[in-house]
Amino acid sequence: MIDTHIHADSRSSEDFEQMFISGIETAVTCSYYPYKLNNEEVLLNHLERILYYDTKRASKYGLDLKVALGIHPTNLIKKPEIIFDKLHECLEKNQIIAIGEIGLENLSSDEIAIFKEQLKIADEAKTKVIIHTPRKNKLDVLKIIKNIVLENIDPNLAIIDHINSAVIEEIIDEKFTIGITVQPEKMDKEEAIAIFEKYGYDKFILNSDISNMPSDPLSVPKTIAEMKKLGISLNRINKIAFKNAKKAFKI
């Protein structure tokens, strides 16, 4: 199985062990710093920590961490160029499989400018972007994200994440990959499976988004186990468990 969106830096070794024992062989870890940033160097340090430290920490327990880096919309900094340079460098060295997570939260002009620039970097490098959609005003922000994405990047490269049944109609006909996050307080496995049954199994990737907030490191295997219990075909289960993610991230 592949968990397509986690925050490994805020999780324990015990989580990695449990995930691997439960059948998660690969996870995509995204950057997000949960506290105020005093300067750009703090964010740069966060990115390097994920690249060089958390990947090693997880691999001790068998979990293969693939890395996505970027400036999260709540991690705004005055001089983003230092991070843009780092992203270019990581893409050249094939150290990351996507830019992410990026997106919009409060719709400030700085936020929008940083979001657009990162979409352009991904488009130039023909790499995927993992795009966060917020909990509040989800539909309104999603509409703005959709328009900006369509103007700035090949839509085949965009993963729009944390989509739920209330907003899915807004993007289901676009070429985006859609991320479904099964997480306490956000979405249960039953809602996720209902979405796959209604909209088909080809457009979706599954994740836990485990972070410093309430989350379940086993939400992907629990959802896959529920699909098996319901008698959903192995071909469909495999698409959600790993095939769609392998194709999207070329891993």
Q: Give the separation between CA 33 and CA 43, rounded to whole angstroms.
A: 7
CB nearer Zn ion, residue 117 or residue 209: 209
Of all residues in this chain, which one has the CB nearest to Zn ion in the complex?
A: 209
In angstroms, how far is the first alpha carbon of the chain from the final one? Answer: 12
Cα Rg, the chain, nearest whole Å: 17
Contact map string, positions 54 to 93, toward Zn ion, x by CB under 5 A? ----------------------------------------
- Residues binding Zn ion: what is the number (CB under 5 A)? 2
Q: Where are the alpha helices (DSSP H) in the chain?
A: 13-21, 40-49, 55-59, 81-92, 109-125, 138-152, 189-199, 219-229, 234-238, 244-249
Helix axes 109-125, 138-152, angle to 10 degrees: 40
Site of tokens 């306490």: 184
Contact map string, positions 88 to 127, toward Zn ion, x by CB under 5 A? -------------x--------------------------
Q: Give the separation between CA 128 and CA 140, rounded to whole angstroms.
A: 23
Smallest distance, Zn ion to C-beta of residue 210, A: 9
Q: Give the separation between CA 195 and CA 247, rounded to whole angstroms.
A: 20
Smallest distance, Zn ion to C-beta of residue 29, A: 9
Q: What are phi and psi of 90, to 5 degrees?
A: -65, -35
Choose, by CB under 5 A, the member of 209, 217, 224, 241 that binds Zn ion. Answer: 209
Smallest distance, Zn ion to C-beta of residue 179, A: 10
Contact map string, positions 168 to 207, toward Zn ion, x by CB under 5 A? ----------------------------------------
Smallest distance, Zn ion to C-beta of residue 6, A: 8
Smallest distance, Zn ion to C-beta of residue 30, A: 5
- DSSP category for residue 135: S
Smallest distance, Zn ion to C-beta of residue 117, A: 20
Near Zn ion by CB under 5 A, which window of 44-52, 62-70, 118-126, 208-216? 208-216
CB nearer Zn ion, residue 105 or residue 209: 209
Q: Which helix (H) or strand (E) holds 207?
A: strand 204-207
Smallest distance, Zn ion to C-beta of residue 130, A: 8
CB nearer Zn ion, residue 9 or residue 117: 9
Sequence-separated (6 or more) residues with CB below 8 Å from residue 156? 175
The footprint of Zn ion (CB under 5 A) covers 101, 209
